[in-house]
Amino acid sequence: MTAVVAPYWEFAKKAFAREATYRFEVFTNVGSLILRVYLLRCLWTALYAQNAAPMNLPLHAMITYATVALLMSLVLEIDGTRLIQEKLREGTIATDLMKPISLPLYFFSDGAGRTLLYAVLVIPTLLCALLLVHIDVPPPATLGTFALSFLVAYCVNFVLNFCMNAIAFWTLETFALQLIVRWVSDLLSGQIVPLTLFPGLAGRLLFALPFAAIYSTPLLIYVGIIHPSGWRNALIVQCLWLAAFGLAAFGIWRAAARRIVIQGG
């Protein structure tokens, strides 16, 4: 058993170490995040000064929401599966296929290793952010459910990214597609604006989309808009999306692998 897991644990460790060698990038990422936390606080404060609090979301909850969303993005915006495209373009995917490993698991562990570095950085970033803004801390049960929901969100995000990057097996390049999906998902996943702010049909539609499973669900659990009674259903919906995209990723990977072995790397 350990021999089965060992390579992937090692991949994650190596990815962690590799990411840490790009110190400049790591620090700029964290630095710009703290700046964004501050700017969003200013923005929401200004907006709230003009209007009444919408949908029982007071200013401090809104700022909490925005700050936690940004901290989550530190982890979620690392696209581990981007590696697929690099390997396709450089042709090194052939050497990887000659190894006794599962490539999707390799990509997952590599991505997880890279995100782990940023996950570690979330704590100091949070401390810095706390100097600029004040955020609410919910009771432990809520915090625990948030963590669980965030973990599922991470996996949904991974399989979604995996699907998109795997399209490169056919097109070699998916930059335009990814840009579109990123714009759409940033807006529709509730990273920038809570989905509860969208009125009527639009709001219901957005909750029905998979993007909500990435940012919106964990965040709404954190700020308490999803009450403890709704936690179970929220998590189930997330898991369903994970299963759906997981299956899609599996299918795309099977087709991609078949394409390589038939058409050459």
Residues that bind another protein (CB under 8 A): 3, 6-7, 9-11, 14, 17-18, 21-22, 90-92, 94-95, 97-101, 260-265
Nearer to another protein, 12 or 69 (CB): 12
Nearer to another protein, 99 or 134 (CB): 99
Nearer to another protein, 51 or 263 (CB): 263
Place of tokens 């056919």: 170
Q: How many CB atoms lie within 10 A of CB 1?
A: 5
The least distance separating another protein from the CB of residue 261, rounded to whole angstroms, comes to 5
The least distance separating another protein from the CB of residue 262, rounded to whole angstroms, comes to 6
Nearer to another protein, 173 or 197 (CB): 173
User: Considering Cα of 43, then 24, then 86, then 94, what sign does the dihedral take?
Assistant: negative
Nearer to another protein, 103 or 153 (CB): 103
The least distance separating another protein from the CB of residue 176, rounded to whole angstroms, comes to 15
Q: Tell me how far CA of residue 103 lies from CA of 18, 97, 174, 218, in angstroms.
A: 19, 7, 19, 29
Distance CA 44, CA 50 (A): 10
- Is residue 101 a contact partner of residue 7, using CB atoms and an 8 Å limit? yes
The least distance separating another protein from the CB of residue 11, rounded to whole angstroms, comes to 7
The least distance separating another protein from the CB of residue 15, rounded to whole angstroms, comes to 9
Torsion angle (degrees, nearest 10) of CA 232, 238, 239, 240:
110
Single-letter code of the amino acid located at 104: P
